[in-house]
Structure 1
Amino acid sequence: MKFFEIKNLNTGYGDLHILRNISLEINKGEIVALLGSNGAGKSTLMRAIVGRLRVWSGEIIFKDENIANLSPDKIVKMGISLCPERRRIFSGMTVKENLEIGAYRRRNGLKERMEKVFSILPRLYERKNHLGGDLSGGEQQMLAIGRALMNEPELLLIDEFTLGLAPTIVEILVDVVKKINKSGVSILLVEQDVHMALEISDRAYVMEVGEIKISGRSKELLEHPQIKETYLGM
């Protein structure tokens, strides 16, 4: 059984064709990085996966079922969650309330799932009664990740989780991502920090102007001449 696979996906906005014949796959238990500069189409692909953008053609296969153009609610219930770019937490609500909202599609076992999130992100437990707007940038990113975990996904999509954060905070969040993966969650990681993403992922795809241009094992891509020149400044 294929865990997750995209086959020849095409989509865009209005008449604007953004993604062209995108194909990629994620095996169960993997961290897969999706790399590329701003405007490459990475976030557009994430929106298509979770049902927030209509797929024009192609397939998105999750556990042998084509989920292309299913509703976001159905996709979450099937086991895919998105941690969006720029966090998007509720600043006027507490950490605990933000996590509860993250689980609004699955209310059963709420306490147990929140305890599991706190075990992965203990800083959230320490701050559980604080308002989201009072958290640091790193804590807000932890909260965004924790909220996505409240639905117990099998596949977690993380969009630009290091954006605007200090290197010391990024190191902490990288450890969080590894911990989530070790708990059994597969991860698709959209990231502009190419070196970091290749260091923590198993495989990677590089997008340019809406197309996959390079793919392979992450360790091998660290030595790829084009990636070294274009993205790593070497």
Structure 2
Amino acid sequence: MTLLQLQNLYSGYRGVDILKGIHLEVKQGQIVVIIGPNGAGKSTVLKSLFGLATIRAGKVLFQGSDITHLPAEQLVRRGICFVPQTNNVFPSLSVQENLEMGAFTRRDNYASQLERVYELFPPLKEKRRQAAGSLSGGQRQMVAIGRALMVEPQLLLLDEPTAGLSPLFIEQTFALLQDINRLGISILMVEQNAKQALSMADWGYVLSMGENRFEDTGPNLLTNPEVLELFLGG
């Protein structure tokens, strides 16, 4: 089943289009990765969905319904969560308070989901009373992703989840994302560590200058000679 569709999307900032008619699709249960050079518009794709970039033309469909201009809170209620690259935790709040903030749209008891998040991220349970701002970069990323999981989303949007992390945390983050996906959560991810991301992707998109350049399965993109030469460093 198709979960998310972007149809002929034009979007950008202050009247300037960064995305120029792109299309994109995420099916239920997939990990979909967007790669491309700096300035290609990768992060603008995710920001457009959450109103952080202005959509001038085109449509965004979720489960067949038009969500093009819905506010962020309604998107969260529909099961879509966005984890931005930076400023993605409340630094003065504890780890647990950050996670509880993620459940702001819930009206039920979310204690069992909190425990599931701690099971996915054991270091967070150990540090649950510690201020999130005092954690390492990798642990802050765990808090940000864990907070998004508190609403049990259908689709998780991730902007550069491994940016600035050590090689060890990069490997751990990719492994955790696969664990999350196995829980039935679809993932749409922008990522600079392109080879590692594509190696676990069901489908990948290569953007260039705000337009679709290539799309294929992750393994096929990794062996495409033109993609290798132009976007993956040979």
Q: How does 1:137-176 map to 2 (within 5 A)?
A: 137-176=137-176
Gaps (5+ residues) in structure 2?
Answer: none
Cα distance in 2 between the residues matched to 1:52 and 1:66: 18
Q: How does 1:1-234 map to 2 (within 5 A)?
A: 2-234=2-234
Shift of residue 148, structure 1, vs aligned partner: 1.1
Cα distance in 2 between the residues matched to 1:107 and 1:165: 35
Shift of residue 87, structure 1, vs aligned partner: 5.0
CA displacement 1:115-173 (0-9 Å, x = unmatched): 12112112211111111122111101111110111111100001101111111111111
Cα distance in 1 between the residues matched to 2:50 and 2:15: 21
Counterpart of 2:66 in structure 1: which amino acid? N
Q: TM-score, normalised by structure 1?
A: 0.96
Cα distance in 2 between the residues matched to 1:11 and 1:26: 19
Gaps (5+ residues) in structure 1?
Answer: none
Q: Does the CA contact (< 8 Å) of 1:50 and 1:80 recur in 2?
A: no
Q: Does the CA contact (< 8 Å) of 1:99 and 1:114 recur in 2?
A: yes
Q: TM-score, normalised by structure 2?
A: 0.96
Shift of residue 32, structure 1, vs aligned partner: 0.3
Q: Does the CA contact (< 8 Å) of 1:95 and 1:132 recur in 2?
A: yes
Matched position secondary structure for 1:52: coil
Cα distance in 1 between the residues matched to 2:156 and 2:115: 18
Counterpart of 1:74 in structure 2: which amino acid? Q
Cα distance in 2 between the residues matched to 1:206 and 1:215: 6
Q: Does the CA contact (< 8 Å) of 2:174 and 2:197 recur in 1?
A: no
Matched position secondary structure for 2:112: helix
Q: Residues 167 and 127 from structure 1, CA distance in 2 versus in 1: closer, same or farther, beyond 3 angstroms?
A: same
Cα distance in 2 between the residues matched to 1:53 and 1:137: 26
Cα distance in 1 between the residues matched to 2:169 and 2:139: 9
145-154 vs 223-232, which moves further:
223-232
Cα distance in 1 between the residues matched to 2:183 and 2:31: 12
Shift of residue 15, structure 1, vs aligned partner: 2.1
Cα distance in 2 between the residues matched to 1:120 and 1:171: 15
Cα distance in 2 between the residues matched to 1:164 and 1:230: 23
CA displacement 1:70-111 (0-9 Å, x = unmatched): 111111100000111125211111000011112212242221
Count of residues in Structure 1 that have an aligned counterpart in Structure 2 = 234
Report sequence identity in percent: 40
CA displacement 1:30-61 (0-9 Å, x = unmatched): 00001112211111110111233332111111
Counterpart of 1:213 in structure 2: which amino acid? R
Cα distance in 1 between the residues matched to 2:138 and 2:90: 15
Counterpart of 1:165 in structure 2: which amino acid? L
Q: Residues 123 and 107 from structure 1, CA distance in 2 versus in 1: closer, same or farther, beyond 3 angstroms?
A: farther
